[in-house]
Amino acid sequence: MLKLVTFYTSLNSVNSFQGINDLQTEADRSAQRCIVNSLLKQFPKVTIIGEETLEKLENEEELIVVIRVAPLDGTAECTQAIYPVRKLRFRKVKNEEDYTKLGHTMWGIVGAGTHGINPKKPPENKRITTTRSHSNLIINSTIASMKPDEVLKVGGAGHKYLKL
């Protein structure tokens, strides 16, 4: 993970079209180009929409197959070097797998199952995962109204999903 943070920060943060708290790095854009080009070689007629670009397709709902690419999860946390701090400061939870390894890929398709991850039953308590970097009064009051047993503030949509 430290290598990944070094890679991220050395490739410079760049302006994002989505706002100040939605950071992008050259690593995000480079990874997206690599993923998209690889997919297009295998599936030349498929429509691919990348998270890091401005492209919006007018006829998106008419398409049979659309691949959405979100190349790197938790960019804000990596550019702020938060992941290695979290990784070093907190001990690993018993029986929780480490999905932060460099190069770890997880994927799933409805009907085909999941790969690269061992599915587990959800916890008994009411756990909410929420944004670490985009919070506001509305989000906080909504979470409070649900009376959760546990609130995890983490970066990256994929990371939030895994923490549920």
pLDDT digits (tens, 9 = 90+) for 24-63: 667 677 777 877 888 888 888 777 777 666 555 555 555 5
- The pLDDT assigned to 14 comes to 55
The pLDDT of residue 106 is above 80: no
Binding-site residue set: 51, 72-73
- β-strand 150-154 against 107-109: which pairing, if any? unpaired
The pLDDT of residue 107 is above 60: yes
- The pLDDT assigned to 85 comes to 32
Q: Is 53 helix (H, G, I), strand (E, B) or coil?
A: coil
CA of 163: how far to CAs of 5, 64, 150, in Å?
21, 31, 11
> Among all residues, which ones are annotated catalytic?
28, 75
Name the band, by pLDDT with cuts 50, 70 and 90, for residue 91: very low
Binding-site residue set for Mg(2+): 51, 72-73
CA distance 9 to 7: 6
